[in-house]
Amino acid sequence: MRPILFIFAILFFFGCEKPNSPNENEFIFPDSKISYNRHVQPLFFKYCALSGCHEPFTRKSNLDLTSYSSLRLRFNDVVIPKDTVLSRIIWRIEGRPGFLPMPPTGPLTSNQIAGIKKWITEGATDSIP
């Protein structure tokens, strides 16, 4: 009976993952032709457009990330198409000094950050370039 409990304990403790970790493999961006609907929006839904954050009711920093049209309202500063240097969303997801890093659940992967940057570089459209 003890070996079964030991095996169960190992599976329980080592089989668990942090459920909201942005490092999950389900959000892997391609090298180009980033789709807002297939790549960016699902990432936002999982880690940003949550209750109490960037959804229509709370709109922290006056930012709603639940749709392309709501994000488009902030294209003058949060996302500047074709400009990753001045797009503040990049400052946040990279955790630059002086800016609270986002998302608060943990950093995005380098692939996810590069994917969002590529989406902005490609024009930050809601369709594939």
pLDDT score for 8: 40
DSSP string covering 39-102, please? IIHHHHHHHTSSTTSSSTTT-GGG---SSHHHHHTTTTTT-BTTBTTT-HHHHHHTT-TTS--S
Could you say which DSSP state residue 36 is in?
I
**Tokens 């490609």 identify what position?**
122
Roughly how many angstroms between the first and final C-alpha of the chain, as a whole number? Answer: 60
Asked if residue 111 lies in contact with residue 117, where contact means CB atoms within 8 angstroms, the answer is no
pTM of the model: 0.78
| pLDDT 10s digits, 11-41 | 333 333 444 445 556 789 999 999 999 999 9
pLDDT tens by residue, the chain, 129 residues:
555 444 443 333 333 344 444 555 678 999 999 999 999 999 999 999 888 999 999 889 999 999 999 999 999 999 999 999 999 999 999 999 998 899 988 999 999 999 999 999 999 999 876
